Structure 1
Amino acid sequence: MSRIGKLPIKVPENVNINLHESELTVKGTFGTLKLSIPDNIVVDNNDNILSVTLKNETRNIRALHGLYRTLINNMVIGVSEQFTIILELKGVGYRATVQGKEIILNLGYSHPVIIEIPDTISVEVIQNTTINLKSCNKELLGLFAANIRAWRRPEPYKGKGILYKNEQIVRKAGKSAK
């Protein structure tokens, strides 16, 4: 049995959980998330404590036990608290602005980079170089942050690029003179 899969999930009072056949719906103050659960995984709700168990123990189903427990836990945390990712722009002239449902990045290219913001993600730009991303869906939030970061990955010589907050870049020495 999975060590992570057998841990109970505590559900806050402001979160409603609805399990209909194999569809789990989690509704809270910050949104609603849905997840379809395989037939061999059982989710029980007893006094606002969720437990994830298995019907039969095949190798493939045991591999999914901890995964689905973690996905459900992330859904509960997301709709009650929200997840936050902070990106920092480091480089001369690097800046970001939000216009409507688009984020516009100036990253040293000859053109500005325009990225469409998904509906479930809120974006806030602080001092042109710090981007706060918030969402109840952890998977979508991480994917969107990775898409922004892909435009200028941190480089090891000068440390320029788009970094996660508190990320340490391993720096390399430049060319050595003769």
Structure 2
Amino acid sequence: MTVKNKTELSLEQSEELLGVLKERFENNMNRHEGLEWSKVEGKLSSNKEKLWSLNEMERTGGEPDVVDYDQENDTYIFYDCSAESPKGRRSVCYDREALESRKKHKPENNAIDMAAQLGIELLTEEQYRGLQELGNFDLKSSSWVQTPHDIRELGGALFCDSRFGHVFVYHNGAESYYAARGFRGSLKV
């Protein structure tokens, strides 16, 4: 079966992804206590574009999982829950402006544009800290996080990691990129 457009999965792809997500959901109940897979699956099945974004999160190594439920808006919130920053999203600078400012050795992409292409948003510092309460993440890697405008305006960008039992927030030039730094995203369904 062929895919109808770039943001819609085939029936076979959808079923395969739902199987992966269900297994991850059931194996990590500490991330979403009190939530039921059948309700999450119902939301996903009726939202093809969000399912496509979750597939892209999975394809790039993010291992997305439900981490919260917003009762007021009836939305499930997924984060990338891979142990380390997703491998398919590393070695990227922060945004397009940073990418274009590099004269030599440009990375292939940037975190902000890549997240938009996937249909997700970079985690905020607060979301990143919340993720760390659900397990051990980025013990060997780091992840760009949403950077306040005033910092970005001065050429900087923020990234986080977890070392020595603590979450650390650092700064770097937005044009920098490293093999062990990527970004984690969130998606509301």
TM-score higher than 0.5: no
Bigger relative contact order, structure 1 or 2 (CA pairs below 8 A, ≥6 apart): 2
Greater share of helix residues, 1 or 2?
2
TM-score (norm 1): 0.30
TM-score (norm 2): 0.28
Name the larger-Rg structure.
1
